[in-house]
Chains A and B, each alone.
Chain A
Amino acid sequence: MNANRAHDEVERETGHGTDLWRVIAAPIVWALHFLFCYIYGAIYCEKLGRDAPLDDARIAIIIATVFALALIALSTVHLWRVRGRSLTDNDFEFEHNTPEERHRFLSHVALMLCVLSAVAVIYVAIPMLYLVNCR
């Protein structure tokens, strides 16, 4: 790794493991949660009729939401360490030419995507909290 280090590179020790799959992990959780909510809701209402109360569905959606948020949190904790260790030099540009910098960059993007995905998961769950039936 040292061979690739640019001359003005700052010494860091944040590792090098984050790849593109890790970056899209949280949005994938969002997508699965979203699909689950929609498909579950659609089948539930189609099979039970339009007058059916949403009580059971609500519980399922809440469980799915908590599960999705937990998965996102797991990813966040992992990425947070990268962020914490690289805060020392206040560098958010990620413009150096090393594998480690690429790792920090992807970790930052992944971390921010965790936040966005969590917000989006919560958004999607909100309608279930105040609608009462399938109408």
Chain B
Amino acid sequence: MIYKSAEERQLAKVWEPPKGWRYFSDVNNSTIGVWYISTAFAFMLFGGALALLIRLQLAVPENTLLSANLYNQVFTLHGTVMMFLFAVPIFEAVAILILPAMLGARDLPFPRLSSFGYWCFLIGGVFVCGSIFFDSAPDAGWFMYPPLSTEQSGIGADIWLLGLSFIEVASIAAAVELIVGVLKCRAPGMHINLTPLYGWYVLIVGAMILFAFPPLIAGDYLFELERAFDWPFFDVSRGGDPLLWQHLFWIFGHPEVYIIFLPAIALLAMIVPTFTQRPIAGYSWIVLSALGTGFLSFGLWVHHMFTTGLPAISLGFFSAASEAVAIPTGIQIFVFIATVMMGNVVRSVPMLFCLGALATFIVGGLTGVMIAVAPFDFQVHDTHFIVAHLHYTLIGGMLFPVMAGVQYYYPFVTAKVLSWRLGIWSFWLMFGGFNIGFLPMHFTGMLGMPRRVFTYDADRGWDLLNMVSTIGAFIFAAGFLVMVWDCVRPKGRDKDATRNVWNAGTLEWAGRVPADNWGMRSIPQINSRYPLWDDKTLLETIDQGRGLLPSAEEGKRETLVTSVLDAKPLQILRVAGPSWLPMISAFGLGAVFIFATWKLWWLTLAGGIVFLVAVLWWLWTGTAVIPEKPTKDVGDGRQMPLYVAGVRSTGWWAMFITMTGDLTAYLSLLFGYFFFWTVHEEFPPAHIEGPGWQWPAVAALLTLLTWALTLGARLINARGRPGLAQVLLALGLVAAAASGLALMAGPWTNGLDPTEHTYPAIVWALVVWIVLHLAAGMIMQAYCIARSRFRKLTPEHDADLWNVTLYWHFTGFCGLLTALVIGGFPLVQ
């Protein structure tokens, strides 16, 4: 690419990716996005190979290809890989890659966080997948039900728990990044009603992650405490209950299905208008149905537990909600069909995948309505009917839309168009193979074939159907390989795609070909949903640098922050450049989780220290940097601030979002406490002394004091008294330490033994959770003191203190609630 003007050369220099081996320190969204997608697809191929092993094993009755033990590992890992290492990460990957361009941003607000998330995902994924080569993969099903997983599984269950907890960190990081991205980084004028539908979906799914993943983190926490330290949360003989795990798992697991489905359908919402050459029919209907689905999807989790013996009335509520969710889901499908009917469809491979996705998903959706009816579910529960249903929804609702997205966005990323011929071949092989493979499973299920059995007798009458399924699976795999080959084959002789190759209307296609690392030359004013169709002068405005932020004269990477509803420019955000620190942090955190699996505590501690040092270094050098001047010309004469603290800053939002997720995890633990109360006649049990009310009361007061001191420090600092603020923070640090000790003193002095019964175990679990949070809060207070002493935190530049105070709002609340519950609840019994 030849850069004509001095401004272009500046931008190119500032946004240039690092060269040589330093390439792996890159943090730019276009690089991370490509790594993320490639890694997710690599895991997908691995999961697919496992699926083929399953199908080979089941092809004929009484097969001896795989042992029962290996078969257990294979199907567990297949489900785990496809859900945790492909379906969810591919959403994050695609969003990180295309969202900034779609919104007219140069990068997402926290590029290093994306990078950190990616490395967590890669390390955790390799760890979990690699276990099968050592015959130690998880083998109790992808939902790890206790007591099977607690009593009988080997190290595999720990690998699953710790490896996936680690990957969940990546998901929450992505949720933070993407929510702030959609809300705060849209091009000027892109009101919330003009935001591309993909942005809406990402926003909704990001929010869902905050409420869906933390219950699983809480569940993992309890589960690992049981596995590693014998705290009996799920052990019935000591007052535990395996159903608690099922609740926590499925409070995560069902919304997760929609967390997978919505962003994939979001790709259809971008692709269908392009290939019908008209705006989507019913934009607001899509938004409302995506929002409605997001909410209702949290009321479905018990439909995975219809056969656990819950009262019929509980089943009834969840059955009703499961039927209700079909309404918004259906609306989205009808909107797509209406758009296709009202437009002139351009024949293309992405569109073919879209139509295949709709057809397949409708079948899966209809069987979903069937099994939402509890009595029908009783009949087919745990049979291959369910396998067929879930694959129709996931392949139709996720895989085919993602394939459409790969076909559609390939030129956006690589400047080359995929082959038409190979695309058609791969679609029909996949679509045909999928239906040959999975349609018969409805019948094998109806004939009574259970899931997760490694073989079956010849006289059951399941052999022909199974053989057909296996043949279909291989045809499906062949189609997938054709697509993979098309993506990776050398394309040196192919011509570059033209600019906006599909004649799309949305902003991500405004970029030049091949793409510039900086995204858009300048950020234009947006006046409609499909600016490339409606504004014929848009490309010229962008290219001639007549939009905002046309240069990077200070040599810093910058993007625009705008207001949430009306996208008015508010701030010029300096985003971070390449760094090894996110990768080092991820390796440190990875070491914590991996060494903890084998209870190598010293190495775990070492990993923790690496993580902590790297994160602190990263924060110290890369965040809340005081700019050389307070404001800067945004490009049209308006001066915009370079440093913003408090509720209008992206960092504050990121902390708020993170802590919302953290609060959800805490509330899930608290749910555990009250869950045990409901299932026991007497809770706390009569023969066990509680933590008493005195020490918890002291802890509550000290927590309140810590909170007040931290808040006071922020207010005093803002009044120009940084010295006094440091003193308050130091006092807060002491108060926090004291409140942690007081909280532990209750159960400690009363001799609560967490291995004896569930009650002391859940009390200790809550206490440990809070103590860990207090410790993190103390590190933050110490960090603020240091920042203040080194003049990196001043009365005018106090973003760090705002964010730490926000952390303490949440932690103070949770600490207080814990003290009240463990100290007060036994009194009201």
Contacts and interface: CB of A to CB of B under 8 A. Distances in A.
Interface of A: 4, 6, 19-20, 23-24, 27-28, 30-31, 34, 37-38, 41-43, 45-47, 50, 54, 57, 92-95, 97-99, 101-102, 105-106, 108-109, 112-113, 116-117, 119-120, 123-128, 131, 134-135
A50 to B, nearest CB: 7
Given A45-B314, A126-B320, A97 B296 contact: no
Contacts of A119: 324, 327
Contacts, number: 138
A93 B313 contact: no
Contacts of B317: 34, 37-38, 41, 124, 127
Given A97-B526, A119-B327, A92 B321 contact: no
Given A6-B527, A31-B295, A19 B313 contact: no
A93 B318 CA distance: 35
5 contacts: A30-B296, A41-B313, A41-B317, A97-B189, A127-B312
B291 interface: yes
Interface string B284-319: 110111011011101100100000001111111111
A102 to B, nearest CB: 4
A50 B310 CA distance: 10
A24 B194 CA distance: 19
Nearest to A101: B193
B191 interface: yes
B564 A20 contact: yes
Interface in B167-217: 189, 191-194
Contact of B313 (A30, A57, A98): A57
B295 A127 contact: no
Contact of B565 (A20, A57, A126): A20
B382 interface: no
Nearest to B323: A123
- CB-based closest 8 A-B pairs: A127-B316, A105-B193, A27-B295, A45-B311, A123-B320, A120-B324, A102-B191, A112-B288
B237 interface: no
Contact of A43 (B283, B284, B285, B678): B678
B328 interface: yes
**Which among B279, B289, B296 has the greatest number of chain A C-beta atoms within 10 A?**
B296
Contacts of A50: 311
A23 B298 CA distance: 18
Contacts of A97: 189, 191, 194, 526-528
B284 A109 contact: yes
A94 B280 CA distance: 12
Given A41-B311, A128-B313, A134-B313, A27 B299 contact: no
A124 B321 contact: yes
A62 to B, nearest CB: 13
Interface string B318-338: 111101100110000000000
Contacts of B679: 46
Interface string B747-765: 0000000000000000000
A99 B313 contact: no
A126 to B, nearest CB: 6
Given A23-B291, A95-B194, A127-B316, 10 more contacts: A4-B189, A31-B298, A37-B317, A41-B314, A106-B192, A109-B291, A119-B324, A120-B292, A124-B299, A134-B311
Contacts of B773: none
Provide the main secondary structure of the chain A interface.
helix
Contacts of B283: 93-95
Interface of B: 189, 191-194, 279, 283-285, 287-289, 291-292, 294-296, 298-299, 302, 310-321, 323-324, 327-328, 526-529, 564-566, 678-679
Contact of B284 (A46, A92, A123): A92
Contacts of A134: 311-313
Nearest to A50: B311
Contacts of B324: 119-120, 123-124
Contacts of A57: 313
A105 B289 CA distance: 14
A106 B191 CA distance: 11
A19 B566 CA distance: 10
A125 to B, nearest CB: 8
Contacts of A6: 527
Contacts of B288: 108-109, 112-113, 116
A42 B317 CA distance: 11
A125 B565 CA distance: 35
A131 B285 contact: no
Contacts of A120: 292, 296, 299, 321, 324, 327
Contacts of B292: 27, 113, 116-117, 120
Given A27-B292, A105-B193, A113-B292, A54 B313 contact: yes
Contacts of B284: 92, 94, 105, 108-109, 112
B224 to A, nearest CB: 26
Contacts of B678: 42-43, 46-47
A31 B526 contact: no
A34 B321 CA distance: 9
A120 to B, nearest CB: 4
Contacts of A113: 288, 291-292
B103 to A, nearest CB: 15
A94 B295 contact: no
Contacts of A24: 291, 295
B419 to A, nearest CB: 36
Contacts of B566: 4, 99, 102
